């Protein structure tokens, strides 16, 4: 009988073992309990880089909300052009057809007759407030809190007035209508910085409490690798586990992808334990997978930027600007031509500058997995 692979290398999926987010889960539990007891409702913004587990955490929070007998709705934000389109999107997701705003029991000239008709609100905030306040009135006897979870809130940044409408709506629902809504959103690691780009820094940074997702530490990474194996007949040799810990650097998606591929190779070979031979084959599989889905898209088009990455990828240590320039000269690149492309790579977050004693120093590629992609890129085309 074939073992079912317990690892899920898909963004937004809930991992087989939810490792390393205990602090975030406890914070949410605390916020829910405070809200249920009539205290202040804190709105949360889960922020972090690609594949770090924002959507997975959101799904886990939805489960916790249900365990606490709180209603919730998780929606993935589409591309939105303005606040009107956004309000219609939220209403369509949260309000069922039978709950849509209607005027019921409208007396016709005092006769007691009744009609149903749609309320022709024009302003998106009015439409949202009326819809959500009516929703709350329908459920407030059954629950003490409704958690609205909006994934990929970044898509609202360029939508005219959408984020300010969202904030104003939830403030009004709480202050004027005593509705118990908690708003939880996810966004990229630079979400709060981008608020400033759109002139929304003060109102939104004070409205949301940030939850910053970081990579797992080594202990948490090992747990994410080993715990799912406990319900299978497959084992990973210690050296394989060490390699996954080191190459993934605690990145949740990398962990799932590498483990998934190692597990598949182990089962295909009809063996019970993955050794380094299995790992090497699996790594080729994994790096080809992520090349297609991620790395090819972020790899620069500039030839000088590519060369800088290549220079960094084959170095065992971070390099200074002068050291990169010296290597560039060997490839017919003038020293004066290195500065601007290097800064662009920093801006793109493909390269990071190490800090030594509080001062910025040498440069390296932003993570080990991408470093291997750069180093092996020419070979990848033949895998």
Q: From first to last of the 383 residues of the chain, give the pLDDT tens digit.
A: 457 899 998 876 777 778 889 999 999 999 999 998 989 999 999 999 999 999 999 999 999 999 999 999 999 999 999 999 999 999 999 998 776 644 333 333 344 444 444 444 468 899 999 999 999 999 999 999 999 999 999 999 888 889 889 999 999 999 999 999 999 999 999 998 888 776 666 677 789 999 999 999 999 999 999 999 998 999 999 999 999 999 999 999 999 999 999 999 999 999 999 999 999 999 999 999 999 999 999 999 999 999 999 999 999 999 999 999 999 999 999 999 999 999 999 999 999 999 876 667 899 999 999 999 999 988 775 44
Please say whether the beta carbons of 47 and 54 come within 8 A: yes
pTM over 0.85: yes
Same domain, 205 and 242: no
**204: how many CB neighbours lie within 10 A of its CB?**
20
Tell me: do 112 and 245 sit in the same domain.
Answer: no
Residue 377 domain flag? no
On whether the CB atoms of residues 132 and 179 are closer than 8 A, the answer is yes
Pairing, β 71-76 against β 351-356: unpaired
Last residue of a domain, one of 155, 187, 212: 212
**Do residues 338 and 259 share a domain?**
no
What HEC string does 136-173 produce? HHHHCCCCCCEEEEEECHHHHCCCECHHHHHHHHHHHH
Domain co-membership, 271 together with 326: no
Same domain membership, residue 89 and residue 46: yes
Same domain, 180 and 94: yes
Query: Is 352 among the domain residues?
Result: yes
Q: How high is the pLDDT of residue 17?
A: 79
Same domain for 189 and 256? no
CATH number of the domain residue 334 falls in: 1.10.10.10
Same domain, 182 and 56: yes
* β partners of residue 47: 187, 212
Of 245, 276, 298, which one is at a domain's C-terminal end? 298
Quote the number of domains for the chain: 3
pLDDT reported for residue 113: 45
* DSSP labels, 238-301: HHHHHHHHHHHTT-HHHHHHHHHHHHHHHHHTT-SEE-HHHHHHHHHHHHHHHIIIIIHHHS-S
For residues 57 and 55, give the distance between their C-alpha atoms in angstroms, rounded to a whole number.
5
Taking the CA atoms of 300, 301, 304 and 310 in sequence, report the sign of the dihedral they define. Answer: positive
Q: Is residue 143 part of a domain?
A: yes
Q: Domain boundary at 192, 212, 232, which?
A: 212
Report the distance separating Cα 263 and Cα 283, nearest Å.
11
Same domain, 155 and 183: yes
Residue 379 located in a structural domain: no
Cα–Cα distance for residue pair 69/193, rounded to 1 Å:
35
pLDDT at 2: 54
- pLDDT score at 97: 77
- Whether 148 and 94 have beta carbons less than 8 Å apart is answered as yes
Same domain membership, residue 85 and residue 139: yes
| Domain region containing 224 | 218-298
What CA–CA distance (Å, rounded) separates 129 from 23? 33
320 and 289 assigned to the same domain: no
């Amino acid at each position: 009988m074939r073992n079912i692979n317990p690892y899920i290398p898909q963004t937004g999926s809930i991992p087989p073992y939810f490792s390393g987010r205990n602090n975030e889960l406890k914070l949410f539990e605390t916020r829910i309990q405070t809200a249920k007891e009539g205290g202040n409702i804190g709105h949360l913004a889960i922020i972090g880089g690609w594949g770090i587990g924002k959507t997975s955490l959101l799904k886990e929070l939805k489960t916790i909300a249900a365990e606490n007998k709180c209603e919730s709705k998780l929606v993935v934000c589409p591309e939105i052009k303005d606040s009107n389109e956004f309000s219609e999107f939220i209403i369509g997701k949260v309000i069922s057809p039978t709950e849509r705003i209607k005027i019921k029991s409208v007396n016709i000239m005092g006769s007691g007759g009744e009609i149903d008709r749609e309320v022709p609100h024009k302003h998106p905030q009015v439409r949202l407030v009326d819809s959500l306040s009516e929703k709350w009135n329908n459920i407030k006897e059954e629950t003490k809190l409704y958690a609205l979870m909006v994934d990929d809130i970044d898509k609202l940044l360029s939508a005219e007035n959408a984020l300010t409408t969202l904030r104003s709506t939830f403030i009004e629902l709480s202050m004027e209508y005593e509705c118990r809504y908690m708003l939880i959103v996810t966004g990229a690691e630079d979400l709060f910085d981008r608020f400033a780009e759109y002139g929304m820094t003060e109102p939104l940074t004070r409205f949301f409490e940030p939850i910053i997702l970081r990579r797992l530490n080594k202990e948490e990474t090992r747990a994410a690798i080993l715990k799912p194996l406990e319900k299978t007949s497959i084992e990973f040799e210690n050296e394989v586990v060490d390699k996954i810990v080191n190459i993934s650097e605690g990145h949740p998606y990398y962990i799932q992808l590498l483990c998934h591929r190692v597990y598949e190779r182990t089962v295909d070979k009809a063996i019970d334990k993955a050794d380094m031979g299995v790992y090497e084959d699996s790594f080729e599989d994994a790096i080809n997978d992520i090349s297609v889905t991620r790395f090819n898209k972020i790899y620069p088009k500039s030839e000088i930027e590519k060369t800088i990455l290549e220079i960094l990828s084959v170095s065992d240590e971070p390099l200074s600007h002068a050291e990169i320039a010296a290597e560039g000269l060997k490839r017919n690149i003038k020293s004066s031509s290195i500065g601007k492309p290097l800064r662009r790579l920093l801006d793109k977050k493909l390269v990071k500058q190490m800090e030594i004693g509080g001062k910025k120093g040498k440069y390296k590629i932003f993570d080990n997995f991408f470093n291997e992609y750069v180093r092996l890129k020419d070979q990848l085309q033949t895998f």
